[in-house]
Chains A and B, each alone.
Chain A
């Protein structure tokens, strides 16, 4: 039976959004987020659906330039990039490619993926020193996770 209560439809929509499959990519170096997106050559790509994390796959980009890397990730249907430092111009390029950017994150990639799948807001525990300034303000491009620095190592 079709329920015409608008509240019912909103709740339904929320469930659909939460369960949406999302391909995420993280530049990787020694099992951790690579120090600088601009020069990263290896990306870990994984599908996240609700709390479930798919099989991770490594994408080696070799000598491609950063714009080519972004294009490659876009063609791989990556919807979210989680990275550490990124030059402003490339942050813009990522967003212009229709990819959501979560930057200013450091730490082991497997932990970060698990935290992202469970509760994205908790990524603030992994933010890089200096991120969002002392007052925890919004990043210039994309989302910069707010909060205190208590990166787990």
Chain B
């Protein structure tokens, strides 16, 4: 008999799914090795505890799966829930439950198996882009202040202006606001105001009527129309031309617009979230941005700090991206070496979080070991570290050097260069113009 129990335990300890058993009082009688690992506990400290005091799941209190199985005799298979560890990390898990019976068929308890499905959830979120503010990784005080107001901001339905440098996560915040708001069942439509010429942008935003211009054979709905009942995210709103600012101002004021080539007013129920990497107040002062439009946009302003101002988040973000790329690329990289973490902590990140993500993605391609090493980092990072003389240059000169290097590395392929720099192609194009960089 004891030999059988020992054998069963060896078998249960060899599987990757977490398993625990409870008696009729819901007290833990067994926990396997995988469960110890997933829950971050030892079998000794779990023994005799109530199951909901070691397995802190969102269903324990109101719809316990084990209780249901023990009351109805019905097994539950692959139910997706989440548990929260002692550190406050949410882990999505898939659970199954079954009865434990003695040789006479009498019920002696229940068994629950659970599988960590963080990788699957990560993939799902990446595919569906259904991020919530719980997906924004930070322990920085300024970011925490933003987390605190985000649910209220989302609920308010007011226009939101998100300020922050390129790659700081403006789109993620916009998605979180949309997904937290009452409009979450509507679409989030994104348009980059800096990526399109003025005339094209106007027809993209407002749509056009057949015959409005050559080749306009039939009506085409604009992004505002597509976002009906949802949210329109105007990225790089600081790049909008003054005439378009006037048209959007009218839309913000009256919730109506005229498609290109039409004389009829169309009403739309769309919330506007705008983002910019410029200081719009300065742009207004310098006469480059309309003050009335600015005040209409600036109902609620969220200012995201640059990554160099929240360096305490780098280890968390590195961990986050490693988990994400493990899921996306099917790898099992454990982390980064101490040496690499030091380099990453010292770096200034002109491309902010997007650049950090790109650095980790680059390292993932080269890394064939468990830990990312210095040699797996992009050249641009090593170059920056090995040329201290450039440290005396000002920020704009450094930016110019970075852009030139990225372009040289990629044989002037702007798409690849933008990816290395962690900025949008349109931002790269604008910066190339600004610094007069030509091939």
Please tell me if A67 contacts chain B, counting CB pairs below 8 Å. yes
Please tell me if B133 contacts chain A, counting CB pairs below 8 Å. yes
B contact residues around A114 at 8 Å (CB):
none
Tell me if B87 and A86 are in contact (CB < 8 A). Answer: no
Q: Mark B132-164, 1 if CB is under 8 A from A, else 0.
A: 011000010000110110010000000000000
How far, in whole Å, are A102 and B258 apart by their CA atoms in the complex? Answer: 56
Tell me if B56 and A85 are in contact (CB < 8 A). Answer: yes
CB within 8 Å of B: which A1-57 residues:
29, 32, 34-36, 38-41
Tell me if B61 and A36 are in contact (CB < 8 A). Answer: yes
Please tell me if A140 contacts chain B, counting CB pairs below 8 Å. yes
Tell me if A36 and B60 are in contact (CB < 8 A). Answer: yes
Please tell me if A79 contacts chain B, counting CB pairs below 8 Å. no
Task: Give which listed residue, B53, B147, B148, contacts A128 with CB less than 8 A.
Answer: B53
> Which secondary structure dominates chain A's binding surface?
loop
Task: Give which listed residue, B40, B42, B57, B151, contacts A36 with CB less than 8 A.
Answer: B57
Please tell me if B368 contacts chain A, counting CB pairs below 8 Å. no
Tell me if B49 and A85 are in contact (CB < 8 A). Answer: no
B contact residues around A128 at 8 Å (CB):
53-54, 56, 86
How far, in whole Å, are A121 and B56 apart by their CA atoms in the complex? Answer: 24
Task: Give which listed residue, B55, B139, B147, contacts A140 with CB less than 8 A.
Answer: B139
How far, in whole Å, are A36 and B82 apart by their CA atoms in the complex? Answer: 11
- Contacts known (A129-B42, A130-B39, A153-B49); A91 close to B88, Cβ less than 8 A: yes
Q: How many residues of B contact A (CB 8 A)?
A: 35
A contact residues around B139 at 8 Å (CB):
92, 140
Q: How many residues of A contact B (CB 8 A)?
A: 40
Tell me if B86 and A40 are in contact (CB < 8 A). Answer: no
Shortest Cβ distance from B40 into A: residue: A130
Task: Give which listed residue, A87, A96, A153, contacts B48 with CB less than 8 A.
Answer: A153
Tell me if B61 and A39 are in contact (CB < 8 A). Answer: yes
Please tell me if B46 contacts chain A, counting CB pairs below 8 Å. yes
Please tell me if B89 contacts chain A, counting CB pairs below 8 Å. yes
How far, in whole Å, are A89 and B137 apart by their CA atoms in the complex? Answer: 9
Please tell me if B90 contacts chain A, counting CB pairs below 8 Å. yes
- Contacts known (A92-B144, A151-B49); A85 close to B88, Cβ less than 8 A: yes
B contact residues around A87 at 8 Å (CB):
84, 88, 90, 134
- Contacts known (A89-B133, A149-B45); A96 close to B144, Cβ less than 8 A: yes
- Contacts known (A87-B134, A89-B133, A96-B145); A36 close to B49, Cβ less than 8 A: no
Tell me if A85 and B84 are in contact (CB < 8 A). Answer: yes
Please tell me if A133 contacts chain B, counting CB pairs below 8 Å. yes
Most buried by B among A32, A93, A130: A130
B contact residues around A141 at 8 Å (CB):
88
How far, in whole Å, are A25 and B182 apart by their CA atoms in the complex? Answer: 30
Please tell me if A82 contacts chain B, counting CB pairs below 8 Å. no
CB within 8 Å of A: which B54-85 residues:
54-58, 60-62, 83-85
How far, in whole Å, are A93 and B84 apart by their CA atoms in the complex? Answer: 16
How far, in whole Å, are A48 and B260 apart by their CA atoms in the complex? Answer: 67
How far, in whole Å, are A140 and B87 apart by their CA atoms in the complex? Answer: 6
Tell me if B61 and A29 are in contact (CB < 8 A). Answer: yes
In the complex, how many angstroms separate the beta carbon of B290 from the nearest chain A beta carbon?
A: 35
Please tell me if A80 contacts chain B, counting CB pairs below 8 Å. no
- Contacts known (A129-B42, A153-B49); A38 close to B58, Cβ less than 8 A: yes
Most buried by B among A32, A85, A133: A85
Q: Mark A100-122, 1 if CB is under 8 A from B, else 0.
A: 00011010000000000000000
Q: Mark B20-41, 1 if CB is under 8 A from A, else 0.
A: 0000000000000000000111
Tell me if A131 and B84 are in contact (CB < 8 A). Answer: no
Tell me if B147 and A89 are in contact (CB < 8 A). Answer: yes
Please tell me if B367 contacts chain A, counting CB pairs below 8 Å. no
How far, in whole Å, are A131 and B42 apart by their CA atoms in the complex? Answer: 11
How far, in whole Å, are A88 and B139 apart by their CA atoms in the complex? Answer: 9
Please tell me if A147 contacts chain B, counting CB pairs below 8 Å. no
Task: Give which listed residue, B40, B42, B53, contacts A106 with CB less than 8 A.
Answer: B53
A contact residues around B89 at 8 Å (CB):
88
Tell me if B84 and A144 are in contact (CB < 8 A). Answer: no
In the complex, how many angstroms separate the beta carbon of A58 from the nearest chain B beta carbon?
A: 15
How far, in whole Å, are A134 and B86 apart by their CA atoms in the complex? Answer: 12
How far, in whole Å, are A132 and B86 apart by their CA atoms in the complex? Answer: 7
- Contacts known (A88-B87, A128-B86, A133-B40); A39 close to B62, Cβ less than 8 A: yes
In the complex, how many angstroms separate the beta carbon of A62 from the nearest chain B beta carbon?
A: 12
Shortest Cβ distance from A142 into B: residue: B88
Tell me if B61 and A35 are in contact (CB < 8 A). Answer: yes
Please tell me if B398 contacts chain A, counting CB pairs below 8 Å. no
Tell me if B41 and A130 are in contact (CB < 8 A). Answer: yes
Beyond contacts A35-B52, A140-B87: 7 other A-B pairs, Cβ-Cβ < 8 A, are A38-B58, A39-B62, A84-B53, A97-B148, A130-B40, A139-B86, A153-B50
Q: What are 17 A-B contacts with C-beta separation under 8 Å?
A: A35-B61, A36-B57, A39-B58, A41-B62, A86-B84, A87-B84, A88-B90, A91-B88, A93-B147, A96-B144, A97-B148, A129-B49, A129-B53, A130-B86, A139-B87, A139-B88, A141-B88
Residue ranges of B at the interface with A (Cβ–Cβ < 8 Å)? 39-42, 45-46, 48-50, 52-58, 60-62, 83-90, 133-134, 139, 144-145, 147-148, 151
